[in-house]
Protein backbone atom coordinates (compact mmCIF):
# COMPACT_ATOMS: atom_id res chain seq x y z
CA UNK A 1 0.00 0.00 0.00
CA UNK A 2 2.86 2.36 0.84
CA UNK A 3 4.47 1.79 -2.57
CA UNK A 4 1.20 2.55 -4.34
CA UNK A 5 0.67 5.78 -2.42
CA UNK A 6 4.30 6.80 -2.92
CA UNK A 7 4.15 6.14 -6.67
CA UNK A 8 0.93 8.15 -6.98
CA UNK A 9 2.55 11.01 -5.08
CA UNK A 10 5.59 10.96 -7.39
CA UNK A 11 3.29 10.87 -10.43
CA UNK A 12 1.27 13.82 -9.13
CA UNK A 13 4.45 15.82 -8.59
CA UNK A 14 5.74 15.01 -12.09
CA UNK A 15 2.35 15.83 -13.59
CA UNK A 16 2.21 19.20 -11.84
CA UNK A 17 5.83 20.27 -11.87
CA UNK A 18 7.30 18.96 -15.15
CA UNK A 19 5.88 21.74 -17.37
CA UNK A 20 7.46 24.34 -15.08
CA UNK A 21 10.75 22.67 -14.18
CA UNK A 22 11.84 21.30 -17.57
CA UNK A 23 11.96 24.66 -19.38
CA UNK A 24 13.55 26.28 -16.33
CA UNK A 25 16.36 23.71 -16.15
CA UNK A 26 16.83 22.86 -19.84
CA UNK A 27 15.57 26.00 -21.56
CA UNK A 28 12.49 26.84 -23.59
CA UNK A 29 13.49 24.60 -26.52
CA UNK A 30 12.92 21.58 -24.25
CA UNK A 31 9.32 22.37 -23.23
CA UNK A 32 7.95 19.37 -25.17
CA UNK A 33 9.99 17.03 -22.97
CA UNK A 34 7.63 17.76 -20.08
CA UNK A 35 4.76 16.18 -22.02
CA UNK A 36 6.87 13.10 -22.69
CA UNK A 37 7.69 12.84 -18.99
CA UNK A 38 3.98 12.99 -18.22
CA UNK A 39 3.20 10.33 -20.84
CA UNK A 40 5.66 7.98 -19.14
CA UNK A 41 3.73 8.14 -15.84
CA UNK A 42 1.79 4.86 -16.28
CA UNK A 43 5.11 3.04 -16.52
CA UNK A 44 6.60 5.00 -13.61
CA UNK A 45 3.68 4.30 -11.29
CA UNK A 46 3.60 0.57 -11.96
CA UNK A 47 7.36 0.18 -11.97
CA UNK A 48 7.79 1.85 -8.59
CA UNK A 49 5.41 -0.76 -7.17
CA UNK A 50 6.58 -3.83 -9.10
CA UNK A 51 10.34 -3.40 -8.98
CA UNK A 52 10.92 -3.89 -5.24
CA UNK A 53 8.31 -6.64 -5.11
CA UNK A 54 9.88 -8.58 -7.97
CA UNK A 55 12.63 -9.69 -5.60
CA UNK A 56 10.15 -12.16 -4.12
CA UNK A 57 10.32 -14.05 -7.44
CA UNK A 58 14.02 -14.61 -6.80
CA UNK A 59 13.52 -15.57 -3.16
CA UNK A 60 10.74 -18.01 -4.10
CA UNK A 61 12.99 -19.41 -6.84
CA UNK A 62 10.47 -18.62 -9.54
CA UNK A 63 13.10 -18.04 -12.24
CA UNK A 64 10.87 -19.52 -14.94
CA UNK A 65 8.08 -17.05 -14.12
CA UNK A 66 10.60 -14.21 -14.18
CA UNK A 67 11.85 -15.40 -17.57
CA UNK A 68 8.32 -15.52 -19.00
CA UNK A 69 7.64 -12.02 -17.69
CA UNK A 70 10.76 -10.79 -19.49
CA UNK A 71 9.81 -12.62 -22.70
CA UNK A 72 6.29 -11.21 -22.45
CA UNK A 73 7.67 -7.72 -21.96
CA UNK A 74 9.87 -8.03 -25.07
CA UNK A 75 7.01 -9.37 -27.19
CA UNK A 76 4.49 -6.79 -25.98
CA UNK A 77 6.86 -3.86 -26.47
CA UNK A 78 7.89 -5.06 -29.95
CA UNK A 79 4.22 -5.50 -30.87
CA UNK A 80 3.43 -2.03 -29.53
CA UNK A 81 6.28 -0.44 -31.48
CA UNK A 82 5.24 -2.26 -34.67
CA UNK A 83 1.59 -1.26 -34.22
CA UNK A 84 2.57 2.37 -33.66
CA UNK A 85 4.71 2.25 -36.80
CA UNK A 86 1.94 0.71 -38.94
CA UNK A 87 -0.69 3.10 -37.59
CA UNK A 88 1.57 6.14 -38.04
CA UNK A 89 1.53 7.14 -34.39
CA UNK A 90 2.99 10.46 -33.35
CA UNK A 91 5.94 10.61 -30.98
CA UNK A 92 3.65 11.32 -28.01
CA UNK A 93 1.37 8.41 -28.95
CA UNK A 94 4.37 6.11 -29.30
CA UNK A 95 5.68 7.14 -25.87
CA UNK A 96 2.27 6.68 -24.24
CA UNK A 97 1.53 3.27 -25.76
CA UNK A 98 5.03 1.98 -25.02
CA UNK A 99 4.69 3.17 -21.42
CA UNK A 100 1.29 1.48 -21.24
CA UNK A 101 2.77 -1.79 -22.56
CA UNK A 102 5.46 -1.66 -19.89
CA UNK A 103 2.78 -0.87 -17.28
CA UNK A 104 0.85 -4.01 -18.25
CA UNK A 105 3.94 -6.14 -17.73
CA UNK A 106 4.69 -4.42 -14.41
CA UNK A 107 1.16 -5.17 -13.22
CA UNK A 108 1.68 -8.82 -14.21
CA UNK A 109 5.01 -8.75 -12.34
CA UNK A 110 3.28 -7.31 -9.30
CA UNK A 111 0.65 -10.07 -9.34
CA UNK A 112 3.28 -12.79 -9.76
CA UNK A 113 5.37 -11.27 -6.97
CA UNK A 114 2.37 -11.32 -4.64
CA UNK A 115 1.77 -14.98 -5.47
CA UNK A 116 5.44 -15.74 -4.91
CA UNK A 117 5.40 -13.98 -1.56
CA UNK A 118 2.31 -15.94 -0.54
CA UNK A 119 4.03 -19.19 -1.52
CA UNK A 120 7.02 -18.24 0.62
CA UNK A 121 4.68 -17.52 3.54
CA UNK A 122 2.90 -20.86 3.03
CA UNK A 123 6.22 -22.75 3.19
CA UNK A 124 7.27 -20.82 6.29
CA UNK A 125 4.07 -21.77 8.13
Cα distances from 30 to residues 17, 25, 90, 93, 97, in angstroms, run: 14, 9, 17, 18, 22
**Would the pLDDT of 32 be above 70?**
yes
Instruction: Domain of residue 52: give its range.
Output: 2-124
Tens-place pLDDT, residues 62-110 = 999 999 999 999 999 999 999 999 999 999 999 999 999 999 999 999 9
Q: Please state whether 70 falls in left (phi above 0), alpha (psi between -120 and 50) or beta.
A: alpha
Under 8 Å CB-to-CB from 120, ≥6 apart: which residues?
Answer: 56, 59, 60
Task: Give how many domains the chain has, as a whole number.
Answer: 1
- Name the strand (E) or helix (H) holding 40: none
**Would the pLDDT of 41 be above 80?**
yes
Amino acid sequence: MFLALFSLLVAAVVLAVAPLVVPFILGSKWTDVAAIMQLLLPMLITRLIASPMSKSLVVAQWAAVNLWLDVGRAILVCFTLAACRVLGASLNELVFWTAAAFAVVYVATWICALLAAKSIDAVAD
